[in-house]
Structure 1
Amino acid sequence: MCGHISIYYKNKKADEIFIRQLTEKIIHRGPDDTGYFIKDNIAFGFNRLSIIDLECGNQPFQKDNRTIVFNGEIYNHNELRIELIRSNEFTTNSDTEVLLTSYINYGEKCLDKLRGMFAFVIYDEVKDIVFGARDHFGIKPLYYVNNDEFIAFSSEYKSLVTLIGKVNVDKYALQNYLSFQYTPNYNTIINEIKEVPNGTYFTIKNGDIEFKKYHKLKFSNKVIMAENIYDIINDSVKHHMIANVEVGTFLSGGIDSTIITALAAKINPKIKSFSIGFDVEGYNELSVAKKTAEYLGIENISINVSEQDYIKALPKVAYYMDDPLADPSCVGIYLLSEEARKHVKVVLSGEGSDELFGGYNIYKEYYSLKPFSYLPEVIKCEVNKIAKSLPDIKGKNYLLRGTTKLKDRYIGNAKIFSNEEVKNIIYNYDENNTYSNILSSLYKECDNNNYDNVTTMQYIDINTWLEGDILLKADKMSMAHSLELRVPFLDKEVLKCAEGLTLSQKVSKNNTKVLLREAFKDIVPSYMKEKKKLGFPTPIRVWLKSELGRYVREVITNADVDKLINKKYVLNLLDEHIQGKKDNSRKVWTVFMFCLWYEIYIEGKSIEELEDYNESNRSNSKCKLA
């Protein structure tokens, strides 16, 4: 796990001093070693977090006139080495050399052989090209800029912001962010910076860049047996535990992290688990996590976060996140990663299970809304009109959802503002930039494949929410503390299994992840088998009515976003929330995180300056070990 930046200059030679400055911007991703490669118009900078082959795995790595910078892990590197060693010599035990040797031997076809998480760039002097790729799921980030002067890539876009100099807010992306709570479609909220899509490779030749998709998800609805799921996920955990440093695990009160932890504990009974809770009733599952750790016979280290701890972390969270993310749980992951890094260098986590195995509670609405499927379209249209005219009473939302087509109402696991609400928040609203338009191509693919509603929601979530929210916060919040986070559910062999699940193997009227729960019923505690999903509950709803609300109001008021955001409207939402009239917590939070991001990346305020807020009241609020 590392951080890298690479620049391909179109009309001039590379500058060694400049690449060093840019590489320093992401030193937190790899504090163990820093290396550079500069030749003609190419410059690579690399910060290493040493995990595999601690002594010989430094980068940039060179072999046969090719040079690579690589962030991630290739979990099947030992198997690939055996295949390659017949006709290749190896000088290290690193997965980096295996990856580069695979490219030398197979070209872009090497991507079909890789099992892992990765974002890499290769300078191929033999072919006089630059080649790179991002993993199947988009676990590892890779941002890029393409302008008249250069094409540049980086693991975090803070380096690219420095490279560009002056950056501008992408108003198109901001409009999308307000609904999705992240920026979809591989845009960022900075106009000049984009993301390399997942499952995609690129080639630069003669100053031109070309992107090609090498992997695409496709559900098939085959019948999968529970024992198959067990064996495949168990094998994935074994591969994800390969490291030359200590590996720990995140353990929440949910079944996903429990499955990963239980399997990991079978491999290493001395594994350390890490858990987090908040000191607000109803937002703390530490007792469940500790009970599970005791059941598994492993050590559990936990933190209990106060409101003041949470407030204090916010400026750093916004900085390390790069793009604004309005998911309140990212602060918890940041603080938990900070604690875990004191003990281990790698952690396993349960991300991806919900998307692959049908874990979100909203997927169950397939059954609750099924009666509407028997109504003629004309009747549903009339019921929809009536429902819209009703006051906010119980049952209104049910009628609206049941009479509205999935593609017109479902944009993923988080829908913050409707299109009509966005019009009230931003100036220069674009009528052609609705969330329905953003997702139209994905819904078309679902229609072409005749996916049912549950599979369609999965497809939408995997191609938007998973990468835009779940994996973004997992990578950025862990790497802020030089901690490698691995996700065994997001493995291409696990995906092959999940793609074949039938509807009944995913959700029932009463529960989610039906077959997954069945497969692991013998290794997880009995109280976990039918436990409903809670997500990662964070008490901003409560805290916005106290000190956090005062901080949020100050940031929104002071941020120089008046030409973009209707502050009066947003602050009224905050007032309504504080007065208990409506739960506007997520809506206010979405605008707040953008404003905090704006102060850092556009106004240029330092983290220290932002942390000065009410510091005297937070001096004694360190996280207490639970």
Structure 2
Amino acid sequence: MCGILGWVGKRPLEVERYRAALDTIAHRGPDGAGDWSDAEAGVWFGHRRLSIIDLSHAGDQPMHSADGRYVMIFNGEIYNYVELRQELSALGASFTSHSDSEAIIEGYRVWGRKVVDKLNGMFAFMILDRTTRTMFGARDRYGEKPLLFARGDGFIAFGSEYKALLSLPGIGRGYDDFRVLRAAVNPSKGLDADPQTAFDAIEQLLPGEAIAFDLQRLEPEIWRYYAPRYDASRAKAKDADVFAEFRELLTDSVRIRLRSDVPVGSCLSGGLDSSAIVCIARQLVGDDAEYNTFTGHFPGTPADEYHFAKVVIDATNVKSHLVEPTVDRLIDDLPDFIWHNELPTGGSSQFAQWCVFHLAKQHNVTVLLDGQGSDELLGGYETYFALYLDSLRETGDRARLDAEMPQIEARYPGVLTPPSRALRDRLPFRLRHMLANRMGKGSSVLYAIEPGIAQKIMAQDARTRQDQFHPLASALAEDSFGGFLTTLLRYGDRNSMAHSREVRLPFCDHRLADFALSLPPHLLMGEVQTKRVLRESMRGVLPEDIRARWRKQGFNPPQDLWFKSPRLQTMVRDLFASQSFRQSPYWQAGYWNRILDRAVAGEAGLGWILWQPFIIESWRREFFGRLDSAAPASPLRTAA
């Protein structure tokens, strides 16, 4: 796990400026730093190392192949590197380290671009072929690791974080207000689902994409090397066989993600996903091995799930560590939180995640397994039930449809759009917007944005149907590989790297995706269950109190209570009173003040709404101010 930065161009190299830019992401790799350049080719590579596998200098980067032909910088982990090294050795490859990184560079020597098909892991890498004077790189299938790039007059730069690229010469700092606002309304859109990022000068590889270009023309070719694959044979599989195979796949996913030369632990919320991982990990490491878990809790509030986490802790005998994210800590940490996240976050749950990773750092656990990705892949959100029912209609499963629809409505009241909301949504949007602002009612960010911009946002938020899948699987594929999960993975990458921790996600394994998305709808959400395939596969593994939890509770701090804090209220009121906010072409300042008044008076559910202008305006001030004053973090070791 590391940070990378590179420059390829036809102008003279400005190595000291590149090194200073690399220092802005020193947090991604505090264990080592190096750079390499070829002035004739116009190439500079920089790398910050967080040592996880092969802690010796043999694993340092930039990494060179034995014959010197290839040079690589790589961020991430390849979990099946042991098997790849064995396969490559049988094909004549030799290794000088025990690192996973070398499996990529040797794999490229043997398989060329098809090396990406062999990798099971999270990764972003660039490889220079000094003989053909070409560059090849790729981003992992889920987009766990970022690969950002910028093109200018005679150069291409690429790296792990925006701040590093924005510190390079020739890369402007302009950004797109509309994309930022669009993400405030729908986090699945605007910032991570498109090749163009919020910053005008910076693009990104999407999940499962690769890039190649030659050093002379600098015209990148970008293509998708991975998309979830539909296997029609799954439709006829026996339920018991499906559950058994899923359990085997998930167990193996956890197994290979436990590979590490530094301590490994887990984030544990008390939910189904993180609990499953902790229980499987305990089985794999054995009863006598110390295994640490890290939990955020919010005592005395409805947001607290610690009592569920305690069930897992007692059942597995893990060593538990707790942290309580508070509104005062949020205010104190806000400048650093914004700096490291680089873009506005969707809610305060990302700050709770920040606190958990910091807790792991305090206890010297470098690698953390986490349950992210299960909800989007397996149908974990109650809103997916409408798509589940659509899938039953489309597949002609009328008996199941008729039996389960009333049961879903009974267990999850209101999850199928209630008639009152359906009637409201049929009113013209501008009329709803006008009434909300005139009467001070409503709880949508859209009502607090200039109506023309709000309508443009709504027009761009429709789902795209993937024909090979039924409606539920299509939505799960979209949300997992370019939708909401991609944004959550950005949060996880930035928050973990801010504290120099590596987070590994067993549910983000492409073998699980190819398996789950080929299942008929009733195995995903049948029997009135979210994530049915996971629940059934975990019988006898998970404590029953956890396995049978029907109501999902996200990892969310008590935002409504936080906005009653005098300190936070003062910050938000000052922000709303500022000239820049009142004169904004997109914020409806009066409506925002009424939203705050309603929240302070005790109206529930407004904390998430208030978070949006608070974090966006704080980001505008904090991130760019710090970017201008960013100073070098530590000296570099220059690679030979």
The question of a shared fold, defined as TM-score above 0.5 by the shorter chain, is answered with yes
- Cα distance in 2 for residues equivalent to 1:355 and 1:492: 13
Deviations 1:381-416 (A, max 9, x none): xxxxxxxxxxxxx999513776999xx99xxxxxxx
Does 2:344 match 1:324?
yes
Residue 613 of structure 1 is matched in structure 2 by none
Residue 378 of structure 1 is matched in structure 2 by none
What are the equivalent positions in structure 2 for 1:524-535 lying under 5 Å apart? 524-532=542-550, 533-535=552-554
Kindly report structure 1 stretches of 4+ aligned residues shifted beyond 6 Å.
367-373, 400-405, 417-420, 605-608
Does 2:216 match 1:217?
no
- Contact 2:171–2:201 (CA<8 Å) still a contact in 1? no
Letter paired with 1:21: A
2:468 to 418, 424, 449: 449
Moved more, 126-135 or 146-155: 146-155
What are the equivalent positions in structure 2 for 1:349-498 lying under 5 Å apart? 349-366=370-387, 397-399=417-419, 422=446, 425-426=449-450, 429=453, 433-437=456-460, 439=462, 442-443=464-465, 446=466, 448-449=467-468, 451-452=470-471, 454-498=472-516
Moved more, 543-552 or 195-204: 543-552
Letter paired with 1:7: W
Letter paired with 1:545: K
- Contact 2:370–2:505 (CA<8 Å) still a contact in 1? yes
SS at 1:305's partner residue? coil
How big is the shift at 1:239? 0.2
- Contact 1:256–1:353 (CA<8 Å) still a contact in 2? yes
Could you say if the C-alpha distance between residues 574 and 99 of structure 1 is closer, same or farther in structure 2, counting changes exceeding 3 Å?
same
Deviations 1:201-233 (A, max 9, x none): 001222111111100124446236111011111
- Contact 2:266–2:292 (CA<8 Å) still a contact in 1? yes
Gaps of 5+ in 2: 395-413, 430-440, 631-640
- Cα distance in 2 for residues equivalent to 1:128 and 1:605: 33
- Cα distance in 2 for residues equivalent to 1:169 and 1:323: 11
How big is the shift at 1:372? 11
Residue 191 of structure 1 is matched in structure 2 by 200
- Cα distance in 2 for residues equivalent to 1:535 and 1:420: 20
Moved more, 569-578 or 346-355: 569-578
Residue 7 of structure 1 is matched in structure 2 by 7
Could you say if the C-alpha distance between residues 259 and 44 of structure 1 is closer, same or farther in structure 2, counting changes exceeding 3 Å?
same
Letter paired with 2:13: A
Residue 155 of structure 1 is matched in structure 2 by 160
- Cα distance in 2 for residues equivalent to 1:352 and 1:498: 12
Could you say if the C-alpha distance between residues 128 and 430 of structure 1 is closer, same or farther in structure 2, counting changes exceeding 3 Å?
farther
2:131 to 90, 102, 126: 126
1:79 to 80, 83, 100: 83
Could you say if the C-alpha distance between residues 371 and 195 of structure 1 is closer, same or farther in structure 2, counting changes exceeding 3 Å?
closer
Moved more, 185-194 or 560-569: 560-569
How big is the shift at 1:128? 0.8
Q: Percent identity?
A: 28
- Contact 2:175–2:199 (CA<8 Å) still a contact in 1? yes
Could you say if the C-alpha distance between residues 421 and 519 of structure 1 is closer, same or farther in structure 2, counting changes exceeding 3 Å?
closer
Moved more, 477-486 or 532-541: 532-541
- Contact 1:275–1:301 (CA<8 Å) still a contact in 2? yes
Moved more, 534-543 or 253-262: 534-543
- Cα distance in 1 for residues equivalent to 2:576 and 2:198: 18
Residue 531 of structure 2 is matched in structure 1 by 513
- Cα distance in 2 for residues equivalent to 1:513 and 1:253: 16
Could you say if the C-alpha distance between residues 197 and 439 of structure 1 is closer, same or farther in structure 2, counting changes exceeding 3 Å?
farther
Deviations 1:162-189 (A, max 9, x none): 1256411213313422321362433332
SS at 1:233's partner residue? helix
Letter paired with 1:5: L
Does 2:303 match 1:303?
no
Count residues with an aligned counterpart.
Answer: 572
- Contact 1:139–1:467 (CA<8 Å) still a contact in 2? no
- Cα distance in 2 for residues equivalent to 1:245 and 1:184: 31
- Cα distance in 2 for residues equivalent to 1:370 and 1:82: 43
- Contact 2:142–2:486 (CA<8 Å) still a contact in 1? no
- Cα distance in 1 for residues equivalent to 2:604 and 2:274: 33
- Contact 2:373–2:485 (CA<8 Å) still a contact in 1? no
How big is the shift at 1:552? 2.8
SS at 1:340's partner residue? helix
Residue 54 of structure 1 is matched in structure 2 by 55
How big is the shift at 1:42? 1.0
- Contact 1:556–1:595 (CA<8 Å) still a contact in 2? no
Q: Give me the TM-score of the superposition, normalised by structure 1.
A: 0.85
- Contact 2:308–2:546 (CA<8 Å) still a contact in 1? no
- Cα distance in 2 for residues equivalent to 1:311 and 1:509: 44
- Cα distance in 1 for residues equivalent to 2:113 and 2:391: 45
